[in-house]
Amino acid sequence: MAPHYHTLLLAIGLAGFCLSATLFASWMSARVERFLLSWSIGIGFIVPAVIVYSVYVEHPIVAVACLAFVLQFLGFAFIYGAAYRFRSGKSGRQRIAAVFLACSAIALPPLASGYDGVGFIALNLLLAGCLVATAREYWQGRAEAPLPLTGIVMLYLLTAVSFLLCAGVLIHDGQWVMGHAPENWAENLNLIAAIMGITGIGAMSLALNQWRVAGNHQRAAMTDALTGLLNRRALFDTYGDEPVKPHTAAIAFDLDSFKSVNDRHGHAAGDAVLKVFAEVLRDVCGTAACAARLGGEEFIVVLDRTMPERAQRIAERVRMDFAAKLIPIGGRSITCTVSAGIAMGGEDCASFDSLLSNADKALYISKRNGRNRVSLAA
């Protein structure tokens, strides 16, 4: 084997080791994005796989080749698991185990029985499949960060093509039994693609992690911690500086006698009531409305491109659904009610502040007339 081949293997090993250490350090700094840990473990298996394979290149012993195969399958299975966890947020342990066991069951028997060429063909095809599956996971989650994720997908696919070329050359040459490590132009190209893939994907993955961390911080700053709804800041960032369109509705909600709930049952019970009401808002309004908690027991729902009748139907459904909820509190259940006021954008309501003010006036009418009702601003 040419000296430059060993140099390329050494470069892959060093790049992989540095990347694995960097990813692990990034995960240790926050211990939030566990896909980084899976990625680090995957690259961590690739490094000894390269070392073992370099030994096999000089001493083509079947047992050494089998160990190199196993380490590679473990590494690529964890890399696929990292992509799955990144997209879904779920643990990929079962998928990692399934990929590893399937690859080992397919490639190791021919290698161990003397058909090493068939084993290497299977190895390259299976690793290409793992890379394509990994690219697919990132592609499905590309909406989160289109630019870096598209770059990661392209690098995974290019690396997969290099593995396919390795398999294709062996098939074309009919090298079913070799007795040594494959040696052809595709193998050299594969090593170069692997170096590019490791460095490029590693850099983009770290950038992607920072992108996600920044996004999480921004969402946390715009979200009410108790209910998960938008907070006042997010609401006014969305609507505060824009003129109110004529067919925009604001529904102000205020939980009835909420202070008595805290006084009689404690603040934990009050928090439970607020959470239940937020769930009712989400269930009724869905994604077609902007729901926010202004503070305390006050909530607001903004509906774009809607008519007064539709806004009133939504408010009434929220009121009735919440009144029907049995809220478990300390071994018993309680019920609560809510009052609402609706205001519509128009010539006399050009700003968002004036829209909310009109909704508050309508809400006051509901409170004054006995609570647990919906009123429409004049």
Question: Which CATH fold topology does 232-376 show?
Answer: Alpha-Beta Plaits (3.30.70)
Between 108-117, 165-174, 294-303, 328-337, the lowest mean confidence (pLDDT) is in 328-337
Contact 20, 44 (CB under 8 A): yes
pLDDT level of residue 15 (50, 70, 90 thresholds): low
**Domain residue spans of the chain:** 3-221, 232-376
pLDDT given at position 212: 67
Least confident residue range of 67-71, 169-173, 204-208: 204-208
Tell me how far apart the alpha carbons of residues 161 and 335 are, in angstroms, rounded to a whole number: 62
Q: What's the whole-number average pLDDT of the chain?
A: 85
pLDDT band at 217 (very low <50, low <70, confident <90, very high): low
Report, in angstroms and rounded to the nearest whole number, the Rg of the chain calculated over CA atoms. Answer: 30
Q: Which helix (DSSP H) or strand (DSSP E) does residue 60 occupy? A: none
20 falls in which pLDDT band (50, 70, 90)?
Answer: low
Categorize the per-residue pLDDT at 152 as very low, low, confident or very high, splitting at 50, 70 and 90. confident
Q: What is the DSSP letter of 223?
A: B
C-beta of residue 335 within 8 angstroms of C-beta of residue 349: no
**CA dihedral (287, 372, 270, 249) positive or negative:** positive
Of 52 and 218, the structure prediction assigns the larger pLDDT to: 52
Whether residue 225 has pLDDT greater than 60: yes
> In terms of pTM, does the model score above 0.75?
no
Q: How far apart are CA 246 and CA 302, in angstroms?
A: 13
Chain segment 77-86, per-residue pLDDT in tens: 998 998 898 8
Q: At 266, is the pLDDT very low, low, confident or very high (cuts 50, 70, 90)?
A: confident
Residue % of the chain over a pLDDT of 90 = 43
Q: Is the pLDDT of residue 5 over 60?
A: no
Segment 106-150, tens digit of pLDDT:
999 999 999 999 999 999 999 999 999 999 999 998 887 788 888
Return the DSSP state at 290. E
Lowest-confidence segment of 39-53, 114-128, 295-309 by average pLDDT: 39-53
Q: Which CATH architecture has domain 3-221?
A: Up-down Bundle (1.20)
What is the distance between the alpha carbons of residues 131 and 199, in angstroms, rounded to a whole number?
15
pLDDT score, position 254? 94
The DSSP symbol for 142 reads G
State the pLDDT at residue 341: 94
Residue 181 has pLDDT above 80, yes or no: yes
- In this prediction, residue 42 has a pLDDT band, given cuts at 50, 70 and 90, of confident
Higher pLDDT, 126 or 57: 126
Instruction: Give residue 215's pLDDT.
Output: 66
